[in-house]
C-alpha cells in the first residue's frame, strides 16, 4: 500500500483531468481576453464599463493560469482548493447562462458539464505531502 494518498490511482486521475481542464480553460480565457480587448476598442461605449470588462477578463485569466501552473508543478493543496473554487464559480456561470438565455443552450450546458467534471477531479485529487527528514 502506498503511504501517501497521491500515489492512489484516483488521485493521479484527478490531477491528470485537472491539468487538461485547466490548460483548456486557460487557453479559452486567453481568447476571451483577446475578444474583449478587440471589442472594447472597436465599438464605442462607456469607457469605465469597457475597462472593467477587460480587467475582469485579465484577472480571471491570471487566476486560472496560476492554478494551472500550480497543478502542473506542485500538486499543492492551494492549487486543489483553487480548482474547486474555480469550478464552483464556473458552475454558477453555466447555470446563469442557461437560466438567462445568454448564448445557445449547448454553451451553457457545456460550461456546466466542464464545471462538474473539474469539481469532481479536484475532489479526487489529493495534494502532495512534503516528506520531512527524521
In sequence order, which ranges of the chain are alpha helices (DSSP H)?
9-42, 47-73, 77-100, 105-124
What average pLDDT score do residues 72-83 get?
91
**Per-residue pLDDT at 102:** 85
What is the pTM (predicted TM-score) of this model? Answer: 0.84
Residue 22 binned pLDDT confidence (cut-offs 50, 70, 90)? very high
CATH of domain 5-124: 1.20.140
Percent of the chain scoring above 90 in pLDDT: 74
**Per-residue pLDDT at 101:** 85
Rounded Cα distance, 90 and 52, in Å: 19
Domain boundaries, the chain: 5-124
Mean pLDDT, rounded, of the chain: 89
Close Cβ partners of 92 (under 8 Å, ≥ 6 residues apart): none
Fill in the DSSP letter of residue 131.
P
Nearest Cα neighbor of 85 from 63, 110, 57 is 63
Residue 45 binned pLDDT confidence (cut-offs 50, 70, 90)? confident
Amino acid at each position: 500500500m502506498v503511504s501517501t494518498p497521491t500515489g492512489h490511482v484516483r488521485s493521479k486521475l484527478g490531477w491528470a483531468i485537472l491539468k487538461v481542464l485547466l490548460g483548456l480553460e486557460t487557453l479559452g480565457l486567453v481568447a476571451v481576453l483577446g475578444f474583449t480587448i478587440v471589442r472594447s476598442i472597436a465599438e464605442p461605449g462607456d469607457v469605465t464599463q469597457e475597462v472593467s470588462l477587460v480587467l475582469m477578463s485579465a484577472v480571471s485569466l491570471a487566476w486560472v493560469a496560476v492554478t494551472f501552473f500550480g497543478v502542473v508543478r506542485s500538486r499543492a493543496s492551494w492549487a486543489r482548493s483553487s480548482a474547486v473554487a474555480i469550478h464552483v464559480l464556473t458552475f454558477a456561470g453555466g447555470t446563469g447562462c442557461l437560466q438567462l438565455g445568454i448564448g445557445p443552450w449547448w454553451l451553457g450546458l457545456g460550461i456546466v458539464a466542464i464545471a462538474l467534471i473539474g469539481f469532481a477531479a479536484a475532489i479526487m485529487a489529493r495534494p502532495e505531502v512534503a516528506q520531512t527528514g527524521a
